[in-house]
Amino acid sequence: MMTRPEDYIRSKIRQLLTEASIPVSTVKTSKIGGGVRQEFRDLKEKSKTRPRQLMSDLGVSALKSREGKHEVLHDLLGQAIAGNEIMATAYSKPEYVKDKFGRKAAVIKVVGDIKSRDGVFFIRHTVRGAKNANLIPFKDKVAIELLGDGVVVYVTKTPYSWNTSPQGEPTPQKEKEEPEKEK
């Protein structure tokens, strides 16, 4: 019998958490209290208490791209996706994008059979684990948000500011159209 990709991903997450000695609920994954699945609650706990182990489980080692903050985030996400079968099944490789104000970000498409909301949650705790493991060399805030069928990850001073005007900066103006020539 073929298993659905979502069931496969869930079983791999359970296996990953079990190998790391984190208790996993034996109840079939169902929404709990605010809609967060048990395996994601365990991931959240691991990103706080054992971040180096989480990074090891995800296949993340020292981040090589230290030229800029966005490159560090891109490298982190790229290593986590390439280094872990579960992540590779759930996400595409990160891509660089810019918003209409020229700010850079990494975007990851959720390609597996998981909900985008769960995809944001998993990426959020991957980044948190990297920060807690001191792999991210800056203290700036990192925003992780839904963007269409993917997740956008960027450095910002204010959360939920993708494609919005940075404080104190004017909104971008449309290019002026040339007036029509009179005939």
Q: What is the pLDDT of residues 27-56, one digit of tens each?
A: 333 333 445 566 667 778 888 999 999 888
Q: Does the pTM of the predicted model rise above 0.85?
A: no
**Dihedral over Cα of 40, 35, 86, 110: its sign:** negative
Mean pLDDT of the chain, nearest integer: 77
- Pick the residue with more confidence: 2 or 104? 104
Asked if 49 and 118 touch (Cβ cutoff 8 Å), the reply is no
Order of strands, sheet of 150-156, starting from the edge strand that comes earlier in the sequence: 95-98, 104-109, 150-156, 141-147
> Is it the case that residue 128 has pLDDT exceeding 90?
yes
Distance from C-alpha of 80 to C-alpha of 143, rounded to nearest angstrom:
18
Read off the pLDDT band of 77 (50, 70, 90): very high
181 has a pLDDT exceeding 70: no
Give the confidence band of 139 by pLDDT, cuts at 50, 70, 90.
confident
DSSP result, 145-182 = EEETTEEEEEEESSSS-TTSPPTTSPPPPPPPPPPPPP
Element (H, E) at 111: none
Q: What confidence score (pLDDT) does residue 165 get?
A: 82
Distance between CA atoms of residues 168 and 109, nearest Å: 31
Say what the pLDDT of residue 118 is.
82
Question: What is the phi/psi pair of residue 80, to 5°?
Answer: -65, -40
Helix (H, G, I), strand (E, B) or coil at 145: strand
